[in-house]
């Protein structure tokens, strides 16, 4: 038997996913959990799999605003109860305003879940809890977790090889969900357009003097947005996007000075804010891969796209990628097609790349609008926020986008919504 025919005959897996972060773990859980793809043998290669924290362990610094659509995905694969048990914080109000206005003034954009008959607008969750709950759901249903890193990918016409330090895994398809610096994307020869933003995000948890009341707040300052996201233990998670120099200062000053700076910059919207954690800064950039698919290879999550965190959309887009890819692979199997075929993967790439391009451009437009220092743009911006706030249909459109329930939803998520 030729080496090629032997590799096809003794395939180790059907799908090897590089990266067991939130997106890779979600894809694995969907593939092994949904009837259409249950027959696939799925492996997740992840060197640092997240564990559920022990009871009483403090909240991690990395949290995300999960949309209703993402919540549906977690519920569908049985991962949501573990996330709730660890203290997901529902938020039912979102307030957005400019630094020259008062926090609840006439030009504040205020979204209320009740206005659209929803119980909440989303949940603030710990990233590691989401990843751990999804990985547990995936392995419970038969996915194999390999605690190692992927070192290379070889793509052949009828199979792929995922190379780890001690094994060569033959598979029909490799999916790279290995984050924004995706090494697998580079091995597959997929380029893109990285555009660093002249901003870094400083992240910390603080205890507010006034209760956060289940509201997510964002104040647009001259150097970037400052967000205060509500946490289940009464604290707030700060995401302050600002110039890299300012971010470095915010990380370097002592706790008392940092607390004062955040309290002032937030216009005392929650009174005095007292820091309770160390601070970490993240560089911010925009990136879109030129394609999400090659024969026997696909990209998902931050490996495919990176967006500004100002609307908390990054992982929500990645989870939609996972649901869309699982759906396309399920349809391909039902039609007797090879799930690693470029015609199949091209359907996924066209679908999600188009949707993510629209969202990426919208977020970049928002970033540029608020970064523009011109006085007349500032006036237009403020009256624009007020206008959206007073216009029923426009406001509903934005709320649907924030909920993640607008656009071309994968069937699983549309079905879950109807139930
Ligand atoms: C400050 C900030 C705030 C944010 N807030 C929000 C928010 O509120 N809402 C939101 O939706 N998004 C938010 N995001 C974006 C969100 O964090 C990312 O979109 C999300 O973490 C991407 O998930 P992922 O699974 O695609 O990638 P990652 O989380 O980066 O996971 C990649 C995984 O791949 C693994 N890996 C890497 N290399 C290899 C290899 N060679 N072999 C095997 N595995 C490998 C890594 O160990 C990791 O576990 C925010 C981002 C920032 C910076």
Q: What is the pLDDT of residues 199-254, one digit of tens each?
A: 999 999 999 999 999 999 999 998 999 999 999 999 999 999 999 999 999 999 99
More confident residue, 358 or 298: 298
In angstroms, the first-to-last Cα distance of the chain is 51
Q: Provide CB contacts within 8 A for 351, sequence distance 6+.
A: 324, 328, 408
Q: Is the pLDDT of residue 127 over 70?
A: yes
Mean pLDDT on 322-334:
98
- Nearest-angstrom CA–CA distance, 99 and 122: 25
The structural domains of the chain, with segments of one domain joined by +, span 3-91+125-194+286-418, 197-284
More confident residue, 297 or 54: 297
Q: Is the pLDDT of residue 327 over 80?
A: yes
Which pair of tokens denotes residue 386?
A: 């007020």
Helix (H) or strand (E) holding 329: helix 314-334
Q: Is the pLDDT of residue 342 over 70?
A: yes
Which pair of tokens denotes residue 412?
A: 């699983």
Mean pLDDT on 47-73:
93
The predicted pLDDT at position 111 comes to: 85
CATH fold, domain 197-284, is: D-Amino Acid Oxidase; Chain A, domain 2 (3.30.9)
193-197, 221-225, 335-339, 366-370: which range is least confident on average? 366-370
164 to each of 159, 245, 320, how far by Cα in Å?
16, 39, 28
The predicted pLDDT at position 329 comes to: 98
Q: Is the pLDDT of residue 157 over 80?
A: yes
Mean pLDDT on 287-294:
97
- Nearest-angstrom CA–CA distance, 213 and 211: 5
- Closest ligand 1 atom to residue 306 Cα is 19
Transcribe 187-253 into DSSP letters.
HTT--B--EEEEEEEEEEEEEESS--TTEEEEEEETTEEEEEEE-TTS-EEEEEEE-HHHHHHHHHS
CATH superfamily of 3-91+125-194+286-418: FAD/NAD(P)-binding domain (3.50.50.60)
Yes or no: say if 205 and 238 are a contact pair by the CB < 8 Å rule: yes
- Confidence class of residue 293 from pLDDT cuts 50, 70 and 90? very high
The predicted pLDDT at position 39 comes to: 95
Mean pLDDT on 325-344:
97
- Confidence class of residue 74 from pLDDT cuts 50, 70 and 90? very high
Nearest CA to ligand 1 atom 31: 21
Q: Is the pLDDT of residue 7 over 80?
A: no
Locate tokens 């709320």: which residue?
399
- Closest ligand 1 atom to residue 25 Cα is 25
Ligand 1: lining residues by beta carbon, under 6 Å: 18-24, 45-48, 64-65, 127, 149-150, 177-179, 183, 201, 203, 239, 282, 301-302, 309, 312-316, 318
- Nearest-angstrom CA–CA distance, 326 and 319: 11
**Distance from the Cα of residue 127 to its chain's centroid:** 9
61-70, 269-278, 308-317: which range is least confident on average? 308-317
The predicted pLDDT at position 383 comes to: 67
More confident residue, 415 or 363: 363
- Closest ligand 1 atom to residue 303 Cα is 26
Q: Using the mean position of ligand 1's atoms as its centre, give its distance from the Cα of residue 24 in Å.
A: 10
Q: Using the mean position of ligand 1's atoms as its centre, give its distance from the Cα of residue 22 in Å.
A: 7
Q: Using the mean position of ligand 1's atoms as its centre, give its distance from the Cα of residue 412 in Å.
A: 23
Number of neighbours of residue 221 by Cβ within 10 angstroms: 17
The predicted pLDDT at position 5 comes to: 72
Mean pLDDT on 247-273:
97
Virtual torsion, Cα 217, 57, 201, 398, nearest 10 deg: -40
Nearest CA to ligand 1 atom 38: 178
Q: Provide CB contacts within 8 A for 198, sequence distance 6+.
A: 243, 244
Give tens-digit pLDDT for 364-419.
877 777 776 776 667 766 666 666 666 666 667 667 777 777 778 899 888 766 55
* Adjacent-strand bridge partners of 163: 152, 168
Q: Indicate the average pLDDT of the chain.
A: 91
- Which among 30, 64, 125, 218 is the best mutation to test ligand 1's pocket, defined by most ligand atoms within 8 Å of the CB? 64
Q: Using the mean position of ligand 1's atoms as its centre, give its distance from the Cα of residue 35 in Å.
A: 28
Q: Using the mean position of ligand 1's atoms as its centre, give its distance from the Cα of residue 177 in Å.
A: 9
Strand pairing category for 173-176 and 195-208: unpaired
- Which among 19, 49, 128 is the best mutation to test ligand 1's pocket, defined by most ligand atoms within 8 Å of the CB? 19
* Adjacent-strand bridge partners of 238: 204, 228
């Amino acid at each position: 038997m030729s080496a090629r025919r032997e590799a096809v005959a003794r395939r180790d897996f059907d799908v090897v996913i590089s990266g067991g972060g939130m997106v890779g773990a979600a894809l694995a859980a969907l593939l092994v959990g949904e009837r259409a793809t249950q027959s696939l043998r799925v492996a997740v290669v992840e060197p640092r799999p997240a564990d559920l924290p022990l009871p009483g362990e403090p909240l991690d610094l990395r949290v995300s605003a999960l949309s209703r659509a993402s919540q549906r995905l977690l519920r569908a694969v049985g991962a949501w109860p573990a996330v709730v048990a660890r203290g997901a914080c529902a938020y039912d109000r979102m307030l957005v305003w400019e630094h020259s206005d008062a926090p609840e003034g006439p030009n504040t954009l205020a979204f209320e879940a009740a206005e659209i008959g929803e119980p909440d607008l989303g949940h603030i969750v710990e990233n590691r809890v989401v990843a751990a709950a999804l990985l547990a759901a995936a392995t419970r249903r038969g996915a194999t977790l390999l605690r190692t890193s992927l070192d290379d990918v070889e793509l052949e016409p009828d199979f792929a090889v995922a190379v780890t330090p001690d094994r060569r895994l033959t598979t029909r398809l490799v999916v790279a969900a290995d984050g924004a610096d995706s090494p697998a994307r580079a091995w597959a020869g997929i380029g893109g357009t990285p555009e660093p933003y002249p901003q870094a995000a400083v992240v910390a948890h603080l205890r507010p003097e006034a209760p956060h009341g289940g509201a997510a707040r964002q104040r647009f300052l001259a150097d970037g947005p400052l967000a205060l996201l509500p946490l289940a233990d009464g604290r707030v998670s700060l995401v302050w996007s600002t110039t890299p120099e300012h971010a470095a200062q915010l990380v370097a000053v002592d706790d008392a000075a940092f607390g004062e700076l955040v309290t002032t910059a937030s216009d005392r919207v929650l009174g005095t804010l007292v820091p309770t954690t160390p601070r970490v800064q993240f560089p911010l950039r925009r990136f879109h891969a030129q394609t999400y698919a090659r024969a026997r290879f696909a990209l998902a999550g931050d490996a495919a796209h990176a967006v500004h965190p100002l609307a908390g959309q990054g992982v929500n887009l990645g989870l939609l990628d996972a649901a869309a890819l699982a759906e396309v692979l399920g349809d391909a199997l039902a039609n007797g097609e090879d799930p690693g075929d470029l015609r199949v993967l091209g359907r996924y790439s066209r679908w999600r790349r188009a949707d993510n391009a629209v969202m990426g451009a919208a977020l970049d437009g928002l970033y540029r609008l608020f970064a523009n220092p011109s006085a007349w743009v500032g006036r237009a911006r403020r009256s624009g926020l007020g206008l959206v706030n007073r216009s029923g249909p426009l406001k509903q459109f934005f709320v649907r986008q924030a909920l993640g329930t607008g656009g071309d939803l994968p069937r699983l998520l549309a079905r879950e919504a109807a139930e």
